[in-house]
Amino acid sequence: MKIALSKPVNRARAYGQPIVALESTIITHGMPFPKNVETALKVKQMVRDHGATPATIAIINGQLKAGLTDEEITFMGKNAKQFVKTSRRDIPYLVAKKKNGATTVAATMIIAAMAGIKVFATGGIGGVHRGAAQSMDISADLQELAQTNVAVVCAGAKSILDLALTKEYLETQGVPLIGYGTDELPAFYTRKSGLSVDYRLDTPKELANFLKTKLELGLKGGVVIANPIPESYEMEYAPINQAIEAALKEAEDQNVKGKAITPFLLSRIEQLTGGQSLQANIQLVLNNARLAAAIAREF
């Protein structure tokens, strides 16, 4: 399947220049308009400002795309309901039916790998949902990390999840969990979770060397590079957890499940925190884009 590459991404590939993949569910399912478009464009610019080419990934009219234009991002942001939240299972259907899809971590990894892009920046990965022992609700992101050779720079797993079980799942699948400048797994809105990472690396050069070594060894699968939210934007632990618990209770009462659960929870947490969680989300994504660009340059 041929991927449509933007001119900047195609040029960067031709000249062996650093590229950073970016997901698109943040545009359609992660934030309201116009913040979604503003943030997506800022993230692209952050990657450029730090020496790499941004490649926002999506499916438009059945075409796999790596490197959305500003106009395409704006169209997505204004017409979010036209875009299916897309994971691995959805890709062939959307391509066959020539439909639109906003890519999750899993789908972004797949298309990035097809395009030869090795570094990807996002907000937080999906994981094992709370109550998964009964619901079996486990994000496809984790299985994708087990098999697709793309490094994912994130602020840990989304704190609406069961972080301990998410970490166990990654360990079972052989996915390295690397802390950037930290020994502790960040929890999206906060820098601490009480859980350790597998290894700590403190510079983009060390991270790039780790990725090169893994590839040279022929070890299949991705890497989670956990990059804590900047201290100045970190939320207080107790209030954010109270908001998460309240949102989870509402989701349970309203029987919100499957693809709808994460967008519902993020939206309710934003409302419950008076918009503070949205500002934290924006800043952690920008922070991850900055680090991903630095890693891609070294790589």
How crowded is residue 195: how many other Cβ atoms within 10 Å of its Cβ?
Answer: 17
Which of 65, 158, 167, 270 does the annotation list as catalytic?
158
In the Cβ-directed half-sphere of 226, how many Cα atoms lie within 13 Å? 31
CA distances from 299 to 52, 178, 205, 213, 292 (A): 11, 16, 8, 11, 10
* Residue at token pair 């991705």: 222
Catalytic (active site) residue 158: yes
How crowded is residue 261: how many other Cβ atoms within 10 Å of its Cβ?
Answer: 18
Average pLDDT over every residue of 138-152? 97
Average pLDDT over every residue of 263-271? 87
Average pLDDT over every residue of 151-157? 96
Dihedral over alpha carbons 239, 262, 66, 96 (to 10 degrees): 180
- Is the separation of the CB atoms in 86 and 129 below 8 Å? no
Which pLDDT band, with edges at 50, 70 and 90, does 261 fall under?
Answer: confident
Average pLDDT over every residue of 250-256? 90
137 has a pLDDT exceeding 80: yes
Catalytic (active site) residue 231: no
Average pLDDT over every residue of 164-171? 97
- Is the separation of the CB atoms in 223 and 217 below 8 Å? no
**pLDDT attached to residue 270:** 87
160 has a pLDDT exceeding 70: yes
Read off the pLDDT of residues 178-216 as tens digits, 9 standing for 90 and up. 999 999 999 999 999 999 999 999 999 999 999 999 999
Q: What are the tokens at 246?
A: 């309240």
Question: For residue 200, what are the contacts with CB-CB under 8 A and spacing of at least 6?
Answer: 178, 179, 180, 181, 182, 183
Q: What are the tokens at 137?
A: 């609700």
Average pLDDT over every residue of 226-254? 91
Read off the pLDDT of residues 29-70 as tens digits, 9 standing for 90 and up. 988 899 999 999 999 999 999 999 999 999 999 999 999 999
**pLDDT attached to residue 266:** 82
User: What percent of the chain is helix, strand and coil (3-state, nearest 5)?
Assistant: 50, 20, 30
* Beta strand residue intervals within 143-267, DSSP E: 151-154, 177-180, 199-201, 223-226
1 has a pLDDT exceeding 70: no
Average pLDDT over every residue of 168-187? 97
**pLDDT attached to residue 252:** 86
Domains of the chain: 4-298 (3.40.1790.10)
Read off the pLDDT of residues 96-135 as tens digits, 9 standing for 90 and up. 999 999 999 999 999 999 999 999 999 999 999 888 877 7
CA distances from 298 to 40, 52, 80, 206, 265 (A): 24, 10, 35, 9, 36
263 has a pLDDT exceeding 90: no
Mean pLDDT, the chain, rounded, equals: 95
Reply yes or no: is the peptide bond before residue 34 cis, omega within 30 of 0: yes
57: left (phi over 0), alpha (psi -120 to 50) or beta: beta
**Nearest-angstrom CA–CA distance, 105 and 109:** 6
